[in-house]
Amino acid sequence: MTNKTESIILGGGCFWCLEASYQLIRGVTKVAPGYAGGDDASPTYEKVCSGRTGHAEVVKVEFDPAEINLAQILDIFWTIHDPTTLNRQGYDIGTEYRSLIICDQNQLEIVQSSIEGGKKIWGKNITTELMTEGEFYQAEIEHQDYFAKHPEQAYCQIVINPKLQKLRDQYASLLR
């Protein structure tokens, strides 16, 4: 592993799903659930779920580009959520569940190319919001490592497990 890591902020529904998925990926050094994309400087889970902060549930994915590149991180993103549904993922409905990418200027070209690829994968318009700057606010401790701590919880069984199986089926070569 190199000493240089990159990071990107991704929103694709419930942050528990994204966190559990990216934690399986070789080269991902850290995944932190949190909030981003809004204007509240002190978001909490309750405030974000109210829909009044402008924030989405997101994960900050840190990765070693010597082991996995940004395009691969984004390919996984298009696989583990539906970027064609505005402000929802399954039964999770609201702006806090929107599809969102927050990248830096150095990543912009790769992200834009990936969005075009996502349109081809899904065969319809992508609703993913793209931002080149935005503050990340880490979620409360009870939301960190949620799937690992609660694998038998109903939401984990019904929503997260099928996403993880899809990830295992399609990206076995990238798994730890």
pLDDT digits (tens, 9 = 90+) for 38-75: 999 999 999 999 999 999 999 999 999 999 999 999 99
Domain boundaries, given as residue ranges, for the chain:
6-171
Report, as an integer, the average pLDDT of 16-20.
97
User: What is the share, in percent, of the chain residues with pLDDT greater than 70?
Assistant: 98
Strand partners, 6: 63
First to last CA, the chain: 14
Q: Report, at the CATH architecture level, how domain 6-171 is classified.
A: 2-Layer Sandwich (3.30)
CA atoms within 13 A on the CB side of 135: 10
Chain segment 99-109, per-residue pLDDT in tens: 999 999 999 99
Strand locations in the chain (E): 6-12, 28-36, 56-63, 88-89, 92-93, 99-102, 129-131, 137-138
CB count in 10 Å sphere of residue 151: 12
Q: Whole-model pTM? A: 0.96
Question: What residues act catalytically?
Answer: 14
Residues 57 and 45 sit within 8 Å (Cβ to Cβ): no
